[in-house]
Amino acid sequence: MTDNQPQMGLRAGQLAINDEGKAEDVRPAIPIMLDGGIDGPAQHLKTAVSKREIRNYNLAFSATCFGIGTVFGSATTYMVYQIQQIAYTSVGHNPDMPPGSGCLSLELPCRVPFGSRDVNLTSLFLFLNAISFGVSGALTLLICGWGDYLPFKREQYISFTILYGILALPAAGLTEYTLHNYTALIGLYVSFNIIGFMAGAWQNIFVPYTMQIAAPSPTTIVATAASSELSDTQVALAPAGHVPDMETDESRRVRETEGVKISVAGNSALNIGMAIFFLITIGLAHANAHASMYAGLYMTTTAGGICILLAGAGWRFLPNPKDVKKRAEGEGWLMVPLNTFIDLFKGIWKYPEAFKFLLAWTIYNDSIFAFSAVTGNLFNLIIRPSLVEYTCYSLTGTLSQIIGSMLFYFLFPRTSLTLRQWSILSYAIPSVVCLWCMFGLNSNSPIGFKHRAEFYVGQVLVNLATAVLTCLFRVLFSELFQKGDEVKYFGFQLVLSLGTVWIPQVVDGPIVDKTNNQRLPAIVAFVFFLSAIGLAWWTDDRKGIRTVLLVRS
């Protein structure tokens, strides 16, 4: 074999035999372009834009997230609160009592109208969530199928954000405790869920885009011994003599740190927006008796206006991804969504580590929605909070999310834990909280979400963990699939979540409706939380990144 002849047919991890008959590692070093040339520290990776532009991206992204946060915090909190108050006082009833007599007993379940029949109040929100998730999944299946083929990814996100703000504007006119307002609030609650989920899916694309321009991942390397962990099929996919080598840990750390920065910035801005509006609502509630009853709805309308303004202001300063995919020859626009998701399901075998990690996140999301609905309704049923305390309880979760995001921001670059290891620890925390809630199934147990303090401690722990998971998922997941497919894969994440999240909702709804035991769904959530831990443990993120480099070749 001559010096100029390529090393053909060698398996990943093999060594070449030199002229003296000795084994020789023919794997080349990784040519990562640095400011000073080929050699140099990884933190000096050359970027496509200046640090000032990246800072502007972060600020614009944070501004739009702040706007979404004000609406999300106000609308979802106070619309739910208003629905519950109308149910308790005018449209609901205790069992064996006439409809509309109100739910006066703290010991008995509250039955409320839903369609042509009455259901348990807890079941109502579980059913509403199931409807929201099903409709959102169907719409996202269509829209995100087109997303990567359209040149206006930034504008797609801004459109959803503005629509989200518009939906909040009618809230101030729904203060009366009437069946009409009860029905209108239910409709708005479902609409908010649908548009909010879709805006969130498009929001995620800015994290990998900023990562890519801040610290580009290495291109495919000409090599013959890259990784013994790649399968025969994966090696066979590569062009002759081309196998991706492992990038340096330093370069990956730089890219992930930039991803964590923008992810934490967006998540913190969203929660800061929520916190500010919660505090203003508390102040208004103390102003006079009338404001104390309806301050949340007034602030919801205000939040809608702010969301619209910030979306317009941040639009031009957001990063504008240029990766636009082209349709296959003869492929019509109506076939694009279907073909996109056929390709995604085929991608399960192409990017197995991405789908393991995605499945863990999906299971967690499905379960935490159902579990939070149960604990929230337990809080209202057992504590019967005023508007101020209900706001304080919600504010506790929001502040915990801010603290969790910032702790993760400072600790991640200063510890040796990988993003995958952070995810395992974070999935474990809600599992413990869920087990704690299950103790309440025993009527003789002194704990189990039976006291005010338990609800607040549980709220803090769950939101600390969720903040970390939200930030790291966007970063690590985007490293496990091909560049340019952000809308497709994050859209698929939403579709998968919405396509499965109804399962615990529909399972839990009838259980609570038939038994009137609010804590039974915690058992289902606990099993799912343990499954998420197992899947995150099983994910091999290093192998996943190597697979992406291989496919890119």
Is residue 51 assigned to a domain?
no
pTM for this entry: 0.74
Is residue 40 assigned to a domain?
no
The C-alpha atoms of residue 191 and residue 179 are separated, in whole angstroms, by 19
Structurally, the chain folds into a number of domains equal to 1
- Per DSSP, what are the bridge partners of residue 102? 93
Is residue 21 assigned to a domain?
no
Give the pLDDT confidence score for residue 324 in this predicted structure: 64
Give me the domain span that covers residue 449: 57-99+116-210+237-321+350-552
> Which of 469, 462, 389 is closest to 430 using CA atoms?
462
Give the pLDDT confidence score for residue 243 in this predicted structure: 44
> Which of 308, 310, 280 is closest to 296 using CA atoms?
280
Is residue 7 assigned to a domain?
no
Is residue 49 assigned to a domain?
no
Give the pLDDT confidence score for residue 461 in this predicted structure: 97
Is residue 337 assigned to a domain?
no
Is residue 29 assigned to a domain?
no
Give the pLDDT confidence score for residue 229 in this predicted structure: 45
**Residue 317: how many other CB atoms lie within 10 Å:** 17
Give the pLDDT confidence score for residue 354 in this predicted structure: 94
Is residue 307 assigned to a domain?
yes
Question: Which is it for strands 16-17 and 117-120: parallel, antiparallel or unpaired?
Answer: unpaired
Give the pLDDT confidence score for residue 345 in this predicted structure: 78
DSSP assignments along 256-305, one per residue: HHHHHHHHHHHHHHHHHHHHHHHHHHHHHHTT-HHHHHHHHHHHHHHHHH
Q: What is the mean pLDDT of each run of 10 residues along the chain (553 residues)?
A: 38 42 41 35 50 86 92 84 87 82 76 86 82 81 73 86 94 89 92 86 83 63 40 44 53 85 92 86 72 79 94 88 68 74 80 94 89 86 84 89 95 93 97 93 88 95 96 93 80 79 74 79 91 96 87 64
- Could you tell me the CATH number of the domain that includes residue 249? 1.20.1250.20
- What's the Cα-to-Cα distance from 543 to each of 137, 231, 343, 480, rounded to whole Å? 30, 10, 21, 9
